[in-house]
Amino acid sequence: MADLILEMKNITKEFPGVKALDNVNLKVERGEIHALVGENGAGKSTLMNVLSGTYPFGSYTGDIVYNGKVCQFKTLHDSETEGIVIIHQELALIPELSIGENMFLGNERKGRLGIDWDRTYHEAETHMKQVGLKEEATTLIKDIGTGKQQLVEIAKALSKQVKLLILDEPTSSLNEEDARMLLDLLLQFKKEGMTSIIISHKLNEIAYVADKITVIRDGATIETIDNSDRNINEERIIQGMVGRELSDRYPSREHKISDRIGMEVKNWTVHHPLYTEKKVVDGVSFNVHRGEIVGFSGLQGAGRTELAMSIFGRSYGTDISGEVLIDGVPKTLKTAREAIEAGLAYVTEDRKGNGLILTESIAKNITMSRLEKVCSKGIIDVDKENAVAEDYREKLRTKTPSVQQNVGNLSGGNQQKVLLSKWMFADPEVLILDEPTRGIDVGAKYEIYCIMNDLVAQGKSVVMISSEMPELLGMCDRIYVMNEGKMIAEMPAAEATQEKIMAAILQSDK
Amino acid sequence: MKTKAFIKKYTMVIALCVVFILFAVLTGGRLLYPQNLSNLLLQNAYVLVMACGMLLCILTGGNIDLSVGSTVCLIGAIAAQLLAMGMNSILVILLCLVLSVIIGVWQGFWIGNIHIPPFICTLAGMFLFRGLGRAILGSKTIAINNKTFLNIFASYINVPGLDGGEKKWSAFVVGIIIAVLLLVNTARSRAQKAKKGYKQIPAASEFGKIIAIDVLLLYYTWKLTNYKGIPVMALWVLAVVLIYAFITSKTAFGRYFYAVGGNEKATRLSGINTERVYFLAYTSMSLLAGLSGLLMAARIGSVNGDTGNSFEMDAIGSCFIGGASAYGGSGTVPGIMVGAILLGVINQGMSIIGLDNNWQYVVKGAVLLVAVIFDVVSNHKTGKAG
Ligand SMILES: Nc1ncnc2c1ncn2[C@@H]1O[C@H](COP(=O)(O)OP(=O)(O)OP(=O)(O)O)[C@@H](O)[C@H]1O
Ligand SMILES: [Mg+2]
């Protein structure tokens, strides 16, 4: 008999109009790393929220058996006292507070009079050492990259005496190096006896780290695959997830690149909005032809997002200089509106912060950047708006009961699809995609790649910023590499390899 | 499940009915006298008007305008002084409205373009305009005797031939016409939707709603028929309410207020000029406050240094009672109208009963708190992201 730390039995959870979980079963053995995989909206996050008490006992049916006894968690705090800690899909750190303060938020180290800061920072540093985070505990969260922030989350979990660690897509916003480091950390914790549950759409990671893989589809458990010998075939997982075989990861496309340049940027320099002497983007030049997909590779903090946002109507930075030509015509794009009108669209990587209005419906979000297209004389034609939204829902296979659903109620991946719909509706000539497949399942990724191919087939230009090198190699015609605000390399995708890109980055660091 | 959803959707309407019936009973039916029902509207005209403007401010993110009570006083004072000096009444009205827009531009500029927190900026305005108003009045009460001015805002509609006798039939005729138009319009839009094959709300619920509104309308206009007829002020209120209801529900421009309240950054990155949204919210608010100043001055027939005192609270209260979110991004004109009328009924009912003024405050405060608690709690239960 296996030593189960956790058994979830017949969990059913309904939201108004959606049955998110339907009799789900999950068994996790002590000391293993258990992966949860499934398409967007399959119910993975919901299941973990049930486990952690985010959705309190009573709002779902079924039993949670933890360490042999039935638990009824009413709050996050209840589950944390039992040693279950969840790290959510979206990081929950407060940018303006220090690493130490964040780690002990709600769990303060108290002295006789208020907080014992010495102890706080001392303990913070011990846990930071455990996760290999080399920073001062007094550094503010906003001053460190996402990779390190993720480590802070884990250190925070350690400070809570975690026994069962749940990570909901921990690597989705990390580059490969940081992601690998995090996974190795999990393996090390495993040796020390900790149990983890990890949700991820990156199947290579799952194959690398997981002992068992449970597949969830449409709110039901499909199967649990054993991977203790670490030689599972990724195709095998995909088959379980989507219920069919997916032969190619990247759709093929005829490369019909026009001579006409869709967008050209010359000598673009951007200064940091607060520390104005710091150059975030430094003399960058690049171009993208019509009918071409151009990729931007680089490490976190290379300045790719900043470059894109500053071009898109100066939405980031100060003291911006340089030239933008769209279709050969020089443009001064001073506001987002001007950029949109010039045929530019920027799909943000931060969909909750910069992209979507979570409290509004899918339909309203989609039409927002080009509301005039469903208006006549300033009056919104709601029927037309809904028809448009319905159209995109079908095209991108967004999983939702209706386009009137609030975006906040969608799963992460489906929110991403709404964001894409929004900018496709703006009908741009040049589409800049910033981490477009973050948090998206394999099937949906394929669909997004198809959409990109469609766009370039129509003679549009696509710029893709991505931290996933295989995706850049698989999709792009040309790849630019950035590091620390500078453009350091440019290569045709046909000649590029992951090693070449990494080598370029390392060289420029010297 | 169905009744639950119904109750949730129409909570405030139901609350309004309950409160109305309660006061009708408590006042021994006096609340239902034609005169009292007519006054209900007149006494709350300023709340209804200002709540519309306040809604736009609140939509942008729970921002309120504290200065509107003082603006009422300032504009009322200017109107009273100018009329006393013998200026043409139409000119006075236009001038006052232009001045209110200038006040709005002043506040909108600081809030929208310079990013001064609205709370502070309008708090400053509250002192500034009140002080200016009092200075203009010279600490006196100034009466308004200009007939045209009073007629424009505070008379009753009188159609020769119809309204000669005891009963002012024009009111009821208008009621019937509007009731029929509402019905016909609903039927027509349903027919159109059916033709295009769009989804429909079930006929029973849509017509049920319209018929309920029609019945109330006929009842109310019948009461007005029995007391002086349709007050001109009702037309002003109706115009404002209809315009704002239209803007917020049907236009792109109105949509932007909701968007800014929902996620300002995302809205800006969608190419919408968020500074302008703030600017216009506060400009429109002051314009409506100025209009309310004129309505008030005409209704009372005089202006003094305390005119418009704490009006901002009534306007803000109506919005929150009527379901506007204190975080911005949600709220509708019909909703806040219900909120305003609810407050009005409570005010009027308590006055008729003769409840002490102090206790009236207590009751109003309690109602506001309960309404907002209810809103917050019920939204959390459905898991609405906030
Ligand atoms: N608060 C809510 N209200 C209504 N529906 C919800 C709510 N939260 C989640 N859902 C629905 O429940 C389903 C499961 O969502 P969940 O977030 O668990 O998916 P997921 O497997 O984590 O997907 P992803 O990989 O995209 O993160 C989805 O269809 C989603 O739309
Ligand atoms: Mg999820």
pLDDT tens-digit map of B75-133: 999 999 999 999 999 999 999 999 999 999 999 999 999 999 999 999 999 999 999 99
Rounded Cα–Cα distance for residues A227 and A213 (Å):
7
Q: Does residue A60 belong to the interface with chain B, where contact is any CB pair within 8 Å?
A: no
pLDDT in tens, B17-66: 999 999 999 999 999 999 999 999 999 999 999 999 999 999 999 999 99
Mutate to test the pocket of ligand 1, among A15, A52, A60, A397 (most ligand atoms within 8 A of CB): A15
Q: How confident is the model at residue B381 (pLDDT cuts 50, 70, 90)?
A: very low
Identify whether residues B175 and B258 lie together within a single domain: no
Q: How remote is the CA of residue A28 from the centroid of ligand 2, in Å?
A: 19
Residue B5 lies in a domain: no
CB of A458 within 8 Å of a chain B CB? The answer is no
Chain B contacts in chain A segment 194-233 (CB below 8 A):
none
* Residue B82 shares a structural domain with residue B204: no
One domain for residues A157 and A192: yes
Residues A174 and A214 placed together within one structural domain of the fold: yes
Q: Looking at A184, A216, A242, which one is the last position of a domain?
A: A242
ipTM over 0.85: no
Pair B176, B241 in one domain: no
Residues A470 and A490 in one domain: yes
Of B174, B194, B229, which residue is a domain's last? B229
Contact B16, B335 (CB under 8 A): no
Average pLDDT value for residue range A218-233: 87
Is some CB atom of chain B closer than 8 A to the CB atom of A404?
no
> What average pLDDT score do residues B5-14 get?
80
Sign of dihedral through CA atoms A395, A399, A405, A408? negative
Question: What is the C-alpha to C-alpha distance for residues A410 and A264, in angstroms, rounded to an integer?
Answer: 36
> Residues 326-345, chain B: which have Cβ within 8 Å of A?
329-330
pLDDT tier for residue B379 given thresholds of 50, 70 and 90: low
Nearest residue of A to residue B200 by CA position?
A383
Q: Which atom from ligand 1 is nearest to the alpha carbon of B383?
A: 1
In a domain, B44, yes or no: yes
For residue A488, what is the DSSP state? E
- Provide the shortest C-alpha distance from residue B109 to chain A (in Å): 19
Instruction: Return the pLDDT at A111.
Output: 75
Q: Does A339 touch chain B (CB under 8 A)?
A: yes
Chain B residues close to A409, C-beta within 8 Å: 383, 385
Alpha carbon of B294: minimum distance to chain A alpha carbons (Å): 30
Q: CB within 5 A of ion ligand 2: which residues?
A: A 45, 89, 412
B210 closest CA partner among B194, B188, B236: B188
Tell whether A428 lies on the interface with B, counting CB pairs under 8 A.
Answer: no
- A477 shares a domain with A403: no
In a domain, A366, yes or no: yes
**Residue at which a domain ends, from B212, B229, B246:** B229
Are A420 and A433 found together in one domain?
no
For residues B183 and B257, membership in a common domain is answered with no
**Residue B61 and residue B149 in one domain:** yes
Place of tokens 């109003």: B364
Domain count, chain A: 3
Write down the mean pLDDT value for chain B.
90
What is residue B384's predicted lDDT score, i.e. its pLDDT?
38
Looking from the CA of residue A39, the nearest atom of ligand 1 is 25
3-state SS string over B79-138?
HHHHHHCCCCHHHHHHHHHHHHHHHHHHHHHHHHHCCCCHHHHHHHHHHHHHHHHHHHHC
Number of other CB atoms surrounding residue B274 within 10 Å:
19
Whether A84 and A206 map to the same domain: the answer is: yes
> From the CA of A106, how many Å to the nearest CA of chain B?
21
Q: What is the distance in angstroms between the Cα of B74 and the nearest Cα belonging to chain A?
A: 34
Q: Are residues B252 and B125 in the same domain?
A: yes
Q: Chain A residue with minimal CA distance to B263?
A: A357
CB contacts, 8 Å: A335 with chain B: 271, 273
* Strands annotated E in A332-383: 344-347, 375-376, 379-380
pLDDT at A36 over 60: yes
Q: Is A27 exposed, middle or buried (0-12, 13-18, 19+ CB in 10 A)?
A: middle
Contact between A300 and A174 under an 8 Å Cβ cutoff? The reply is yes
- Amino acid (1-letter code) at residue A435: E
Asked if the model's pLDDT at residue A347 lies above 50, the reply is: yes
Q: What is the CATH number of the domain that holds A218?
A: 3.40.50.300
What are the pLDDT digits (tens) for B129-167?
Answer: 999 999 999 989 999 999 999 999 999 988 888 887 888
Work out the mean pLDDT of chain A and round it to a whole number.
Answer: 89
Of B255, B269, B330, the CB nearest to A348: B269
Q: What is the pLDDT of residue B53?
A: 97
Interface test with B, best of A60, A315, A341, A357 (most B CBs within 10 A): A357
**Least confident residue range of A94-103, A246-255, B180-189, B375-384:** B375-384
Final residue before a domain boundary, out of A211, A242, A273: A242
Of all residues in chain A, the one with the smallest CA distance to B189 is A383
Kindly report whether the global pTM for this prediction surpasses the value 0.90: no
In a domain, A354, yes or no: no
**pLDDT value of position A326:** 94
Q: Which of A21, A22, A46 has most ligand 1 atoms within 8 Å of its beta carbon, as the pocket-test mutant?
A: A46
Closest CA to A389 of A371, A413, A376: A371
3-state DSSP assignment of residue A331: strand
Better-scored residue on pLDDT, A197 or B250: A197
Q: What are the tens digits of pLDDT across the range A12-29? A: 999 887 889 999 999 999
Decide if A309 is inside a domain: yes
Share of chain A above pLDDT 90, in %: 52
Q: Amino acid identity of A338?
A: E
Chain A residue numbers touching B262 (CB-CB < 8 A): 357-360
Please tell me which residue, A245 or A353, carries the higher pLDDT value: A353
Same domain, A138 and A18: yes
Which pLDDT band, with edges at 50, 70 and 90, does A247 fall under?
A: low
In a domain, B7, yes or no: no
Question: Is it the case that residue B385 has pLDDT exceeding 60?
Answer: no
Note the ligand closest to the C-alpha atom of A438. 1
Name the residue at shortest CA distance from atom 18 of ligand 1.
A43
> What is chain A's length?
510
Q: How does residue A350 score in pLDDT terms, banded at 50, 70 and 90?
A: confident
Q: How far is the CA of A82 from the centre of ligand 2 (A)?
A: 23
Instruction: Answer yes or no: do B300 and B210 share one domain.
Output: no
Which residues 169-208 of chain B have a CB within 8 Å of chain A?
Answer: 193, 196, 198
State whether residue A372 sits within 8 Å of chain B by CB.
yes
Lowest mean pLDDT among A107-111, A398-402, A418-422, A463-467: A107-111
A373-418 tens-digit pLDDT: 999 888 999 989 999 999 999 988 888 889 999 999 998 889 999 9
Choose among A341, A354, A383: nearest Cβ to B266.
A354
Q: Give A165→chain B minimum CA distance, Å.
A: 25
* Per-residue confidence (pLDDT) for residue A142, from 0 to 100: 83
Same domain, B249 and B224: no
Domain encompassing residue B246: 24-155+231-378
| pLDDT at residue B382 greater than cutoff 60 | no
Query: Which of the ligands is closest to the CA of residue B379?
Result: 1
Per the domain annotation, does A355 fall within a domain?
A: no
- What's the confidence (pLDDT) of residue A245? 65
Query: Treating both helix axes as pointing N-terminal to C-terminal, what angle do B274-300 and B68-84 enclose, rounded to 10 degrees?
Result: 50
**CATH code of the domain containing B345:** 1.10.3470
- β-bridge mates for residue A347, sequence order: A433
Three-state DSSP class for A265? strand
Distance from Cα A415 to the centre of ligand 2, integer Å: 10
For residue A316, the chain B residue with the least C-alpha distance is B269
Ligand 1 atom nearest A48 alpha carbon: 18
Do residues B199 and B301 both lie within one domain? no
> Of B173, B202, B229, which residue is a domain's last?
B229
Q: The domain containing residue A466 runs over which residues?
A: 248-343+428-510
Condensed to tens digits (0 to 9), the pLDDT of residues A162-182 reads 999 999 988 887 777 888 889
Q: What is the pLDDT of residue B281?
A: 97
Residue A306 lies in a domain: yes
* Alpha-carbon span A235 to A479, nearest angstrom: 27
Specify the number of domains making up chain B: 2
Q: Between chains, do A359 and B330 touch, taking CB under 8 Å as contact? A: yes
CB pair distance less than 8 Å for A369 and B252: no
* Closest B-chain CA to A334: B271
CA distances for A202 relative to A171, A176, A184, angstroms: 8, 11, 15
Burial state string for A205-230 with b = 16 or more CB within 10 A and e = fewer than 16: bbbbbbbbbbbbbbbbbbebbebeee
Residue A308 lies inside a defined structural domain of this protein: yes
Residue A326 sits in the same domain as residue A377: no
Minimal-distance CA residue to ligand 1 atom 16 = A43
For residue A307, what are its two tokens?
């470059």
pLDDT of residue A510: 67
End residue of a domain, out of A427, A442, A465: A427
Q: In this predicted model, which residue has the larger pLDDT, B344 or B205?
A: B344
A340 in reach of chain B (CB within 8 A)? yes
Residue A350 forms part of a structural domain: no
Q: Is residue B220 part of a domain?
A: yes
Cβ-based contacts of A315 with chain B (< 8 Å): 268-269
Regarding whether A419 and A367 lie in a shared domain, the answer is yes
B258: contact with A, CB 8 A cutoff: yes
Distance A450 CA to ligand 2 centre (A): 23
- Let me know whether A69 and A127 are in one domain: yes
Q: Is A312 on the interface with B (CB under 8 A)?
A: yes
**What mean pLDDT comes out for the span A276-301?**
91
Asked if residue B10 is part of any domain, the answer here is no
Interface check for A418 against chain B (CB to CB < 8 A): the answer is: no
Task: Confirm whether A348 is domain-assigned.
Answer: no
